[in-house]
Amino acid sequence: MAKTKPAAGGRGGNESDPNGESSNFNPWDPEQRPHRAAQFAAMRSGCPFAHTEHDGGYWVASRYADVFELAHQTNLFASSPGVMIPPIPRAPQMHPMETDPPRHEALRKLLLPRFTPKVMAGWKPKVRGVINGLIDDFIEDGEAELTEALVKPLPMFIICTMMGIEDDIDKFWGWIENIIYGRLEDDPTAMNGACDALYAYMTELVAKRRAEGGGEDLVSLLLGADLEDSWMTEADMIGTCFFLLIAGLDNTGVGIRNGLRHVASDAELRDRLHGEPRLVATAIEEVLRLYTPVSGLCRTATKDTELEGRPVAEGERVLLLFASANRDETEFPDPDSFRVDRKINRHIAFGAGIHRCLGSNLARLEIRTAVEEVLRRMPDVRLCEGEDPDWFGFDPLRVEFTPGVREGEGA
Amino acid sequence: MKVRIDRERCQGHNRCVDMCPGVFDTDELGYAVALAGVVPPEHESDARDAADSCPERAITLDEDGG
């Protein structure tokens, strides 16, 4: 569990925060997390550019229009200094998420064709097969803890297959969790150790693929591209691989978990989706809006500027709080309610602008297919008695259901 | 109804092709393209929803066009 560090500047003493609501804002504080909807709403209405003293101090953009605008001002608000708060000090630069124009474009264009809707549709049978194999392992039990049984193994299998590293599949979750969630601990030892281990793995992988050449996987794609005169160094190649794995696991996994969590907690919705599977796609967009997996990423001011009159110095950071933008009442009527028929849904759970999530179609494929197959095989799936899991991270997701039969080979 | 996609604004969110595949498609990079300049009448409602759901506001529909 993350510990709350005392705010260096104290509470409510910030001139830019007249309501005293936000100077202690920390999206990672487990004490604050249960109240985040009200907290976001208070920031949007009272202080849309709050300043918090946590994690070295940063600004927080909470309104939809502001987050959208800042995401498009790539000259004034850069990604290359790092977009994570708190940062991962020993991580390589994670391309292309932490790459600015003009370098960003060539790498993005190299990777984009592997993640289009058409290419992803070709992966659907594989994704469905993985899910059903995982469900077979617990379908006869009548109960399961879905985070370990389905949520984590699914994206692991898919991204590792895409990267051609499925033989090492058992190594990664421990590293990734220590990196992403170890950031929130006071003691950085576990995070640093995991970071170094993953970096060493990717260094070896890049060297191995370079020696072999010609593979169809994402790593071979990077190495095989005509980047001789490009800016990408060996460290940048490694940083890209490092990022692809982390993004393919953590954010995707949280999205899958939130989709399953919501369906298992709302019997009426569950039954409706079971009867009308075509509604799953719309429902998943609403899950992404309401339980945004990546709650925020930051940008760094490239020169002295201001945010609605508040002076922002070069080098200061602004958190683009997507999770709050996605609940902005000026963009979404009845913003804190889950509405399965919310057809018009301009959510920015995958960001906006040139850094729009590269893997958004992969994430959608995995989340939708997981919900479809769970509903098909466990139509009465529900949270176990007394369970009320949060939508942050990878806490257990315990469900019960009428036992079913195995479908796979040797069933 | 006429449809136009602003290629400078489109970032490949792919909400349009998902919501209205009868009007929208994607290129090899995943950016949106319109299958035809004029929206067939049976797809007009979905095309409106798709335009209203584009996070980048990259789709313009001309109700009087076509």
Nearest to B49 among A68, A343, A354 (CB): A343
Nearest to A112 among B15, B29, B55 (CB): B29
The residues pairing with B2 across neighbouring beta strands, listed in sequence order, are B38, B62
Q: CA-to-CA distance for A13 and A54, rounded, in angstroms?
A: 14
List Cβ neighbours of B52 (8 Å cut-off, separation of 6 or more).
A344, A346
Two tokens, residue A20? 């005293």
**What b/e sequence results for A143-155 when a residue is b if at least 16 CB atoms lie within 10 Å of its CB, and e otherwise?**
ebebbebbbbbbb
Task: Name the amino acid, one letter, at A13.
Answer: G
pLDDT in tens, A325-359: 999 999 999 999 999 989 899 999 999 999 999 99
Confirm if A111 and A227 have CB atoms less than 8 A apart: no
Closest chain B residue to A67, measured at CA: B55
Q: Report the mean per-residue pLDDT for chain B.
A: 95
CB contact under 8 A, B13 and A118: no
A346 close to B (CB below 8 A) = yes
CB contact under 8 A, A347 and B55: yes
For residues A179-196, give the mean pLDDT: 93
CB contact under 8 A, A117 and B30: yes
Closest chain A residue to B20, measured at CA: A343
pLDDT in tens, A289-304: 999 999 999 999 999 9
Task: Report the pLDDT value the prediction gives residue A232, as an integer from 0 to 100.
Answer: 87
Q: CA-to-CA distance for A222 and A238, rounded, in angstroms?
A: 10
* Residue A34 in this model has a pLDDT that exceeds 70: yes
Tell me the C-alpha to C-alpha distance, in Å, between residue A343 and each of A242, A260, B6.
36, 20, 22
Chain A residues with CB-CB distance to B24 below 8 A: none
| Distance from the A90 Cα atom to the nearest Cα atom in chain B, whole angstroms | 31
ipTM over 0.90: yes
* Residue A403 in this model has a pLDDT that exceeds 50: yes
Tell me the C-alpha to C-alpha distance, in Å, between residue A330 and each of A56, A88, A208, A294.
31, 34, 52, 21
| Distance from the B24 Cα atom to the nearest Cα atom in chain A, whole angstroms | 12
For residues A302-321, give the mean pLDDT: 96
Chain B residues with CB-CB distance to A106 below 8 A: none
| Distance from the A21 Cα atom to the nearest Cα atom in chain B, whole angstroms | 29
A109 close to B (CB below 8 A) = yes
- What's the pLDDT band for A21 if we cut at 50, 70, 90? very low
**SS3 of residue A220 by DSSP:** helix
* Residue A1 in this model has a pLDDT that exceeds 60: no
Task: Tell which of B53, B57, B61 to mutate to test the A interface (max A CBs under 10 Å).
Answer: B53
- What's the pLDDT band for A227 if we cut at 50, 70, 90? low
* Residue A362 in this model has a pLDDT that exceeds 80: yes
| Distance from the B36 Cα atom to the nearest Cα atom in chain A, whole angstroms | 19
Task: Report the pLDDT value the prediction gives residue A198, as an integer from 0 to 100.
Answer: 97
| Distance from the B52 Cα atom to the nearest Cα atom in chain A, whole angstroms | 6
Phi, psi for residue A110 in degrees, rounded to 5: -70, -40
B2-62: CATH topology:
Alpha-Beta Plaits (3.30.70)
Chain B residues with CB-CB distance to A345 below 8 A: 53
CB contact under 8 A, B28 and A113: yes
Phi, psi for residue A126 in degrees, rounded to 5: -65, -45
Domain ranges of chain B: 2-62
Q: State what percent of residues in chain A have pLDDT above 70.
A: 93
Chain A residues with CB-CB distance to B14 below 8 A: 116-117, 360-361
Tell me how far the alpha carbon of residue A192 is from its chain's centroid.
21
